[in-house]
Amino acid sequence: VYVDRVVVAAAARGRGHARRLYEDLFEQARCAGHTMVTCEVNADPPNPASDAFHAALGFAEVGDAVIHGGKKSVRYWAKPIAA
């Protein structure tokens, strides 16, 4: 399962909305028989809050890429889930 983007309004951050969304996604993915959830996080421009958030959820960095003609670099993260 690949998550393209999760955005939480600045005024709503820190209330667990994104965590609950991911927890529900993990459960739905497990029920569907998937074994991995993946996503990308900006490396340039950096997004340290997203890095920390995904690490806290158990994601690990598994790769990186420069995309959009060199205008953006990203890191790929993955989290195994039990089917």
Residue 39: count of CB within 10 angstroms of its CB: 21
CB contact burial 54-73 (16+ within 10 A = b; e otherwise) = beebebeeeeeeeeeeeeee
Q: Residue 5 pLDDT > 90, yes or no?
A: no
Res 45: pLDDT: 87
Q: Give 66's strand partners.
A: 73
Total domain count for the chain? 1
Q: Specify the CATH number for the domain of residue 6.
A: 3.40.630.30
Query: What separation in angstroms does the CA of 75 have from each of 50, 63, 82?
Result: 11, 6, 23
Confidence of residue 35 (pLDDT cuts 50, 70, 90): very high
pTM equals 0.88
**Domain housing 28:** 2-80
